[in-house]
A and B are shown apart, each in its own frame.
Chain A
Amino acid sequence: MADHENGDARAARSASRPRDDGGPGPVLEVEELSVELLRPGAAAQLVVEQVSFTLHEGETLALIGESGSGKSLTAMAVLGLLPENVRAHGSVRYRGTDLLTLSDDALRARRGKHLATVFQDSLSALNPTLTVGFQIAEVLRVHRGLSRRAARAAAVDLLGRVRIPDPARRYGDHPHQFSGGMRQRAMIAMAVALGPDVLIADEPTTALDVTVQAQIMELLEELCAEHRSALLLITHDLGLAAGTADRVALMYAGRIVEQAPAVRLYERPAHPYTRGLLNAVPSLDAPVGGLVPVPGTPPAPGAFPDGCVFHPRCPSARDRCATQRPALEPGADGRTAACHYPLDPQEAPRA
């Protein structure tokens, strides 16, 4: 990326910051986070590029993207849990401390306590050989140094708070004896055990059916509100994000292409990709067969196109889009979009 564009991006962010600062100070500031895949004997492959976002206390930010858009890697980079062959650059500041420069021990002390995670696949994320209760108690024993007995009591209490019936008896069950929804609840119990400031939920409801999904999201929102936790919701489900998020950041090919308050993003998308996605979501009022898919396929990591990453699939692409990468420009009403020819927010393509 050229230097002047970097400058533009920075200016864009600082311009948008005062508007973000409506509530209390930010708990998590991610700035120009890039993640690259190290390959032996080859150049590193950039999979997440210059991602920046801010999370305030009690706020919910949805990070939306297709598979391979880099949303999960972004989350793992925030937690410092990237695999060995992956490197992160940039800065991830938790209440002013850059997590990327912290030692392993210092970072470990924060994980679970200040930053906690809910994973997608609760069956494989829970250790099949240990009881659910033990695994929740484990968190308390590691961080608070509680005794076995005290941790057990606290874990039973937590299971009750995520509305698992008869928690004292369910404490001794193994993950396979729980249903999918209950496992997800147990994982949420584990994540909120220490009242974290930032909760990262990586596709928390993807493996569940719709009714359970709603209950899980409700529970997540409720617990986050209780602890004033900021929620970073990673999902590919636009509908889910619409119902939960205060702000939405849309990722495409490793970059954030549009970031806006949820209501505005859904009402008037500025980026053609956002509009394409919204047009591809089925809705009850739309006529049957009215879905318009986004043409083409998302680029594979390492084969991101020059210029605007979306231009090969963009209906409004022009010559400039193929050569020049658009910076995230602040637009009206607190949104930023990385597009040379943003859609006019006034013309409302879809209600």
Chain B
Amino acid sequence: MTEPTGATRGGGGTAPASDDPPSDTSPADASAVPFAERSAWQLLRRSTVFVVSGGAIAVLLVMAVRPALFAGWFGHGDPRSCNLDHSAQGPAPGHPFGFDTQGCDLYANVVHGAGASMGIGLLATGCSLALALLLGCLSGMAGRVVDSVIARLTDVFLGFPFLLGAIVVLSSVTTRDIPTVAGVLALFGWPPMTRVVRASVRSAREADHVVMARSMGAGTGWVVRRHILPHILTPVIVLASITVGSVVVAEAGLTFLGVGMQAPAISWGLQLATAQNSFEAHPHLLLFPGLFLSLTVFALIAFGDSVRDALNPRTR
């Protein structure tokens, strides 16, 4: 059999001498972080993609929660203080991104737009993830009937074209703020996640250590919490971070089409939507929100990829 690193030589002899603990790992750090996670974390810390994308996401999160920290850098931090005299003017001193059509500082607006995008991205992903974990575990652990009902339900939702479905639902609601848009995106976002969770639960369920736990009398709830959820963490983390990226794009797309966020709100999608009428004359209106949007999505997807690479033993 293969002896993993850190195992003692020789096997478990009765003589204590042959069972000497490995000297290279001290018990303290061994119990702090499990082996698999520890080496994955070491790998991640050395990965440039992970560090850069993780850093970018951290900055964007701070920007979403506290836009004022960034917006005021050039002296004009209020996105609502506008002067129509400057309508759609290009970059000027104190206004690095220029002005939008209403004459408001574009930089401050772009910074404030992060809140809507990240908020909707995280909220929608969180909701669909919660639903997917619930339905996926139920479907993976329960009997055939429950499983097929959930699987068919998933199929039905997967059958809707995502964009079309979201447009139909969103155009029938009157207020379209962050929670409603996020809710609609979650409504169409859970099925692929549920599939991944269900498949992972199914394969984890047959793992030897799960059968072992069951043979020791552990109940379904215990098995799911202690043995299955930790096992399926990897695909779920990866899928979630990539989903946040696609939800951010979807939000911008829906808003651009006029069924997402509504005018007094500040969002990248809205900024792009207003820019479309005049982007030949004023390309900066399109450029800056578009740049932030693309960078956000890129960072999220790169983050997910690097986590997957680090956690997947086959791509190490």
Contacts and interface: CB of A to CB of B under 8 A. Distances in A.
A119 B208 contact: yes
B222 A142 contact: yes
Nearest to B25: A177
A151 to B, nearest CB: 13
A58 interface: no
Contacts of B217: 108-113, 139, 142-143
A166 B21 contact: yes
Nearest to B209: A127
26 contacts: A81-B211, A84-B144, A111-B215, A111-B217, A116-B216, A119-B211, A119-B215, A121-B208, A124-B208, A126-B212, A128-B35, A138-B226, A139-B216, A165-B16, A166-B21, A169-B21, A172-B27, A176-B4, A176-B6, A178-B7, A179-B8, A179-B9, A180-B1, A181-B13, A182-B19, A209-B11
Contact of B14 (A111, A163, A166, A179): A163
A233 to B, nearest CB: 16
Nearest to B227: A127
Contact of B208 (A125, A135, A142): A125
B30 A215 contact: no
Interface in B205-223: 206-209, 211-219, 222
Contacts of A209: 11
B30 A172 contact: yes
B12 A129 contact: no
Contact of A83 (B3, B12, B35, B206): B206
A197 B213 CA distance: 18
B216 A138 contact: yes
Given A112-B217, A116-B216, A174-B34, A212 B21 contact: no
B216 A164 contact: no
A165 B19 contact: yes
A116 B8 contact: no
A181 B230 CA distance: 26
A170 interface: yes
Interface in B236-278: none
B31 A131 contact: yes
Interface of B: 1, 3-14, 16, 19, 21-22, 25, 27, 30-31, 34-37, 144, 206-209, 211-219, 222, 226-227, 230-231
Nearest to A162: B12
A164 B208 contact: no
A79 B209 CA distance: 15
A178 B227 CA distance: 20
Given A138-B218, A139-B217, A124 B209 contact: yes
Interface string A146-190: 000000000000000001111001101110111111111101001
Nearest to A110: B217
Contacts of B1: 123, 180, 207
A181 B10 CA distance: 9
A326 to B, nearest CB: 34
Contacts of A179: 3, 7-12, 19
A34 interface: no
Interface in A88-130: 105, 108-113, 116-117, 119, 121, 123-130
A126 B212 CA distance: 7
A216 B226 CA distance: 28
Given A129-B230, A130-B226, A176-B6, A211 B11 contact: yes
Contacts of B208: 119, 121, 124-125
Contacts of B219: 105, 108, 142
Contacts of A112: 215-218
Interface in A198-241: 207-209, 211-212, 215-216
